Amino acid sequence: MTEDKNKNEEDIKIENRGSSLAEFTKRPVPTNEELEEFEDFVEEETREGEIEDGLNEIYQDDNGKMVDVKKMYVKKRHGFLFWFFSLFFALSAVAISVYYGYNFLFLESGTNAKIDFLIEGNTEALAGEEFFYTIHYKNLSNIAINNARIEVSFPDNFIFLDSFPESNSDNNSVWEIAQVAGNESDKIRIKGMMIGSRNDTGILVANMTYTPENFSSQFKEDASITTVITGVGFNIDFNYISTALVGQEDDILIKITPEKNNFIDNFRITMEPAENIELLSFDKKIENQADFEMIRPGVWNIKEIKNEENILPVRFKFTEKFSDYETIIFNFEQLGGDNKYFKFYEKVLDFEVMKSDLNLTLIINGSREDQGVDFGEKLNYSIVYQNKGETEMKDVIIMAVLNSEFLDWTTLSDNLGGREKGNTIIWSKDEIGDLESLKQNQEGTIDFSINMAGFGNISAKKEYQVKSYAQFSVGTNENTKFSGEDNRSNTIINKINSDLKLVEELRYFNEDNIPVGTGPNPPKVGEETTYKVYWKLSNNLHELNDLKVSVKLPNYVFWSNKTRATVGEVEYDSSSHSILWDIGRLPITVYEASAEFAIGVNPTEDDKNKIMVIVPGTTVTAIDGETKDKLEYKTKAKTTKLEDDPIAGGQGVVE
């Protein structure tokens, strides 16, 4: 056994060279004393390192560098402003945190209610036009709201007609809603109209109060909308004489013309009362008289408005003179709810009131009213005088005053031979024998005429009008007796119409001698010849409205459909075989406008050896923006002789 064991040990060889473990096993094991000394050393080194680290931390600056302890620095203390702004920013940060926390915890998470509340509706409307206001409300949260109440404050000029759903109040202004579920929406539609003058506004205000579920507090939302009245649907004009004699009857003609969009049918007109004004019955029927009923003196009910002009005649007189200038006020009113009248138009008429024993009435071109006149037009004057006093009047002198820079005094025509002096004409007993002694109620007439001057250079400093009146005196000293207002007639102002002109040319060659026509010239039977028509408008004085140029072509003239216009549109109407150049408004900044188009003929045997009329005369119409007069002119006929074409004109007989 022993031999086998030794043999086995010889077979097993352990190589320990290069092994750290082998080397370690050869080193001596430390004693207990040595271990204790080592532990004490480590402990001491650790304590010294901690102290050094602490000192370094004390004597290092903010950048990690050592501080020179031989020098001492004193750091300033923070002042009041530092602590004030520090506190302010801290509180702001807290407030922002609370706000966003509230929104997140309560609103975003759906534990409180939030309402979307707004109003939709017309921001513009005509007087009397029906429209809707729609109040929208929506619960934007996940929880319900209870006891909701919507209250509306209507404009004073708003007439309530209906609503869906119906209101819970007698005055149709409150809607009670028991509950609005989470994320639920609904609306209230209110139907009505506004009555008022042009540019009047109305503001509708609505508010909604509600209580979120599981809350005791009440919340409120507000909304509003503004609506403007863009028009009343009528053109209203007053024709009257602005001067009135005490005791003399005068008329006011109220002309009412409905516009295309009109929503007021029947209404009333009231005249504000005055102690010295007496209303009289109008005892004759006039053309286009309105369908009306006088409810009482000064109140007229207009039953129905026709499509054309409607005239309400008012006859009155001043019974006394309270002042030199007095007014009459007319109100147009529409009946609304609760028998309340809403005013939609007001007109104030100013009168110069005179009291005289000799009544003088001035008439120009057959009218006592202000009216427009044209450059070069003849003005026919009449002065009607009548002794309305209680005694005879002796040595009466009558004078006509014509104030204007645009009268041609060389054209004055006066069969009675009045004396011209400056801008006046004077008649006395030397010219009119009856003026030596004018008996009570005796009357007479003085007639004369004078022409307007022709059109000249435009100047903004000039008044383009003629202001005329008559005046009288009693006695022989005419220079001192014409003062005062009570010895005057009515005053008439004739504003001068704008200088609208239309030049029309029919050409085969244009101004540059370039052919613009086609076919034979002069025309031949069986062959087509075309021409060019040129229209040129000029205007300098006033703005024009509703400006149109039109012509109806002969049946044998055909339309060639080649047009051009600097403003507006040139259109051909095949049903009426007419041409219309519709311009509309032409401001004075546009002093010229032109258009052109092509037309032609194809002569038949019946036209042979004849001169054919191509354009029978063109009409231009417009409304003067200043005088309000309708301007209308017509050109002469144009033929195949081509009167306006110096190259191709002169012949024109159909071959």
Predicted confidence (pLDDT) at residue 43 exceeds the cutoff of 60 = no
Quickly state the pLDDT bin for 47 (edges 50, 70, 90): low
Contacts 24+ apart (CB under 8 A), 639-644: 639/506, 639/611, 639/612, 639/613, 639/614, 640/522, 640/523, 640/601, 640/611, 640/612, 640/614, 641/611, 642/506, 642/507, 642/508, 642/521, 642/531, 643/506, 644/504, 644/505, 644/506, 644/507
Spatial contact of 408 and 378, defined as CB atoms under 8 Å apart: no
Higher pLDDT, 89 or 275: 275
Predicted confidence (pLDDT) at residue 588 exceeds the cutoff of 80 = yes
Predicted confidence (pLDDT) at residue 22 exceeds the cutoff of 70 = no
Query: 286-315 pLDDT, tens per residue?
Result: 888 988 999 999 999 998 888 788 999 999
Write down the pLDDT at residue 308: 84
Spatial contact of 290 and 308, defined as CB atoms under 8 Å apart: no
Please count the other Cβ atoms lying within 10 Å of the Cβ belonging to residue 178. 7
Spatial contact of 585 and 543, defined as CB atoms under 8 Å apart: yes
Query: 217-247 pLDDT, tens per residue?
Result: 899 999 999 999 999 999 999 988 888 888 8
**Cα 295–296–301 angle (5° rounding)?**
30
Please count the other Cβ atoms lying within 10 Å of the Cβ belonging to residue 621. 16
Q: Which of 118-127, 352-361, 412-421, 469-478 has the lowest mean pLDDT?
A: 469-478
Write down the pLDDT at residue 416: 95
Distance CA 51, CA 340 (A): 100
Higher pLDDT, 291 or 461: 291
Q: Which of 14-28, 266-280, 374-388, 427-441 has the lowest mean pLDDT?
A: 14-28
Quickly state the pLDDT bin for 110 (edges 50, 70, 90): very low
Q: What is the DSSP string of 388-453?
A: -SSS-EESEEEEEEEE-SSEEEEEEE-TT-PEEETTEEEE-TTT-GGGGEE-TT-EEEEEEEEEEP
Query: 508-523 pLDDT, tens per residue?
Result: 999 888 999 999 988 9
CB burial string 243-271: b at 16+ within 10 A, e below: bbbbebebebbbbbbbeeebbbeebbbbb
What does the pLDDT average to over 432-456? Answer: 92
Quickly state the pLDDT bin for 61 (edges 50, 70, 90): low
Q: Which of 21-30, 85-94, 272-281, 592-601 has the lowest mean pLDDT?
A: 21-30
Please give the share of the chain, as a percent, with pLDDT higher than 70.
82
Query: 464-510 pLDDT, tens per residue?
Result: 999 999 999 887 555 545 555 678 888 899 999 999 999 999 999 99
Spatial contact of 448 and 400, defined as CB atoms under 8 Å apart: yes
All structural domains of the chain: 121-231 (2.60.40.10), 234-354 (2.60.40.680), 358-495 (2.60.40.740), 501-639 (2.60.40.1170)
